[in-house]
Structure 1
Amino acid sequence: MKHLFLMLVLISILWSAELDWSNDYEASLEVAKKENKHLYVLVTSSTCRWCRKFESTTLQNEKVLKMLNEKYVLVHADRDIDDLPSWFNVKRVPKHYFVTSKGEEIYSFVGYWDELDFRSFLGDVDKEYEKKIKQGIIK
């Protein structure tokens, strides 16, 4: 029984995906340009319980992990500590920003979202990006 448990733990470690976060917005823009990706910027606060819930539930979901890793360079910033451009006007957290590699906002929303709703928002980001391209808002 002990060996079975140990084997299950090892398998779960090997198969679990991780997110590669940065807290350096400017450096992440450069990485996004090189990798031809957009940025997902998650802004939280150390005192926000909804932020912790989002991190410990939604961001642990395998489907969410896969979607984020495939399409985005990830930035996780604390609004009280990290430097972000002034247009990130964060009053409530968690705040989610989707940004082009040129620093143009595609889409943003606030709050805790479960994995199903968050994956739906990820689909909305793609639609909003295409809409803004057609309208000439994003180039």
Structure 2
Amino acid sequence: MKYIVLTLLLISSLWSVELGWSDDYEASLKVAQKENKNLYILITSSTCGWCKKFKNTTLQDKEVLKMLNEKYILVHLDRDIDDFPSWMKVKSVPRHYFVTAKGKEIFTFLGYWDSLDFKSFLGDVEEKIKQDIK
């Protein structure tokens, strides 16, 4: 029985461990400034089925993990528990925000996306960042 409980705990926590999520927006901004990275902020709710599906499918894709880890400081906020900036409009979840290290929104979108679509969005975000730098 112990083995089953430990295995379930390990499996349920793998997505957060592998990506190194923070739940502190302000502290993450400071880290982003130090590391010269942007933030990817995922806002979910514990009662959201689409949020769970996104975590259990898209965020398990090795390419998605690599792309997120290389480019972003990762922030996961629970809409019903955590504090987030008032400029973030979070009625529906999952909500995805891409934000500069200075706290300026780069790109946002709503909903569950499979791995292929999410990787495409990550490419769109990178293009937008490049255009904004020019």
Bin for the TM-score computed over the shorter chain: 0.7 to 0.9
Q: How far does residue 129 in structure 1 lie from its aligned partner after superposition?
A: 1.6
> What is the percent sequence identity of the aligned residues?
69
- Could you report, residue by residue, the CA deviation over 1:20-63 in whole angstroms, capped at 9, with x for unpaired residues? 00000000000001111000000001110000000000001000
The DSSP-based 3-state class of the residue aligned with 2:101 is coil
Residue aligning to 1:8: none
Residue aligning to 1:131: 131
Residue aligning to 1:24: 24
Give the alignment of 1:1-139 within 5 angstroms: 18-134=18-134
- Could you report, residue by residue, the CA deviation over 1:58-115 in whole angstroms, capped at 9, with x for unpaired residues? 0010000000000000000001110001001111100000000000000000000000
Aligned-residue Cα RMSD (Å) equals: 1.1
2:83 counterpart letter in structure 1: D
Q: How far does residue 18 in structure 1 lie from its aligned partner after superposition?
A: 1.1
1:127 counterpart letter in structure 2: E
CA distance in 2, matches of 1:76, 1:96: 10
The number of residue pairs the alignment matches comes to 118
Gaps of 5+ in 1: 1-16, 135-139
1:72 counterpart letter in structure 2: Y
Q: How far does residue 133 in structure 1 lie from its aligned partner after superposition?
A: 3.3
Gaps of 5+ in 2: 1-16
CA distance in 1, matches of 2:82, 2:133: 30
The DSSP-based 3-state class of the residue aligned with 1:18 is helix
Q: How far does residue 127 in structure 1 lie from its aligned partner after superposition?
A: 1.2
The TM-score with structure 2 as length reference comes to 0.85
